[in-house]
Structure 1
């Protein structure tokens, strides 16, 4: 296990730093997102989220649309497992300049919430099985789908800015980092896929809803290995964690 980890780490380092000529493309994007996790019983819940992203001076062109729907199983109040489906539409861009590329994903996730005094953290480990429609040329899709796998690790730290802690009508500072690695043999030159770092504020509307806004940097390695995308983005996300369980009568 130790040597496998060292091998993967060396592949990532080689993938990022081993290229003699690195071409970096800078972009500006706007990311809008809605997340909902609704608990319907002690053991089961529903996951839903939807995203719309724009690019080219933040808002000139559409970039991506994504929606996810899944079933959550609560191992306990702080640990849950999700199986879900994700549809993504990649609007016209380099490689398919005049057509959109559809993508279907099946994903599996283990999510953990922890508390350290007033601080709160959230982590998830997600495995994605991706089916991306093949591209014939800039104007036409090809038959069939390309299959790839990707693993994602996400860590979020929520720091209350009020003596009340995380309470309704208060602000929190949010730091969030997610790293993604490609597992498929098809990805020869980019085992490292991308890293997303976010720093911003959360406004806690009530006990189950908050609005996050701030800056996110996405650094992505493209399939050729020596080409990278550096995205500076404004991220606006709305989160809801609802509980539909019947309250016990007192």
Structure 2
């Protein structure tokens, strides 16, 4: 009996070691520069605008453009908001800073989401549930080809915010942020990468004025590729310029 158990365990360890050996992880380092505008239209309606440039540290080559992401939010009450928006997204291929850019691939990405905010003393907890519809332009080699591929992606983000220097007004306030987001693909064209990626973020947000904040943080971005056994593990430094206007 013991020998049979040892045999089964040995086989499982051997199979697991094969799977681990076949997993290919590519490490990369990037920096992200982002503008985030928040425009309060009324007590119940808010619009946001994001523009983001994501580049490799190596050779300063661009990988992604978020150009732009637009979101319109409606206050449902009791900490809940509903939102819908659209992102125009550009990917520069190949995803290798050592190689010259050969093609830029557009993606059209509408989304819908629900947000929930809760406060425990001075700790703020944000939950974001987002569903994206992704139309990604076909390409072959260095040329775009006719048509788009389509899939859905679900995203859940949990973020904690805690004031290190707490002030009644935004100017001079220093806030620590910690977040985790998981992204899952689904659709007929998704075969091996139902798990898309996970993002862990830590940053500091400082209020420069009542309407302007700067945030600097680190984001670890672990992503599975469509092959199923290839992954990106990316270290990212992100600088965000927050701008709030109330109409």
Q: TM-score, normalised by structure 1?
A: 0.83
Unaligned runs of 5+ in 1: 1-16, 245-250
> Counterpart in 2 of 1:106?
110
Return 87-96 or 208-217, whichever deviates more.
87-96
User: Alignment partner for residue 199 of structure 2, among 176, 196, 201?
Assistant: 196
Q: SS of 1:193's equivalent?
A: strand
- Structure 1 residue 238 displacement after superposition: 2.1
> Counterpart in 1 of 2:64?
64
**Contact (CA 8 Å) 2:31, 2:57: kept in 1 or not?**
no
Report runs of 4+ in structure 1 exceeding 3 Å deviation.
Answer: 17-20, 94-97, 163-167, 206-209
> Counterpart in 2 of 1:13?
none
- Structure 1 residue 45 displacement after superposition: 2.1
> Counterpart in 1 of 2:174?
171
> Counterpart in 2 of 1:51?
52
Mapped partners of 1:43, 1:165: distance in 2: 23
Mapped partners of 2:163, 2:74: distance in 1: 28
Q: Structure 1 208/119 Cα, relative in aligned 2: closer, same or farther at 3 Å?
A: farther
**Contact (CA 8 Å) 1:118, 1:165: kept in 2 or not?**
no
**Contact (CA 8 Å) 1:107, 1:128: kept in 2 or not?**
yes
Unaligned runs of 5+ in 2: 1-16
Residue correspondence of structure 1 range 89-238 to structure 2 within 5 A: 89-94=90-95, 98-136=102-140, 138-162=141-165, 164=167, 167-238=170-241
- Structure 1 residue 43 displacement after superposition: 2.5
- Structure 1 residue 153 displacement after superposition: 0.7
> Counterpart in 1 of 2:39?
38
**Contact (CA 8 Å) 1:123, 1:155: kept in 2 or not?**
yes
Mapped partners of 2:115, 2:48: distance in 1: 12
TM-align CA RMSD: 2.3
Q: Structure 1 19/107 Cα, relative in aligned 2: closer, same or farther at 3 Å?
A: farther
> Counterpart in 1 of 2:88?
87
**Contact (CA 8 Å) 1:179, 1:194: kept in 2 or not?**
yes
Mapped partners of 1:223, 1:134: distance in 2: 15
Return 163-172 or 235-244, whichever deviates more.
163-172
Mapped partners of 1:56, 1:167: distance in 2: 32
Mapped partners of 1:166, 1:230: distance in 2: 38
Q: Structure 1 78/238 Cα, relative in aligned 2: closer, same or farther at 3 Å?
A: farther
Q: TM-score, normalised by structure 2?
A: 0.84
Q: Structure 1 94/31 Cα, relative in aligned 2: closer, same or farther at 3 Å?
A: closer
Mapped partners of 2:244, 2:79: distance in 1: 13
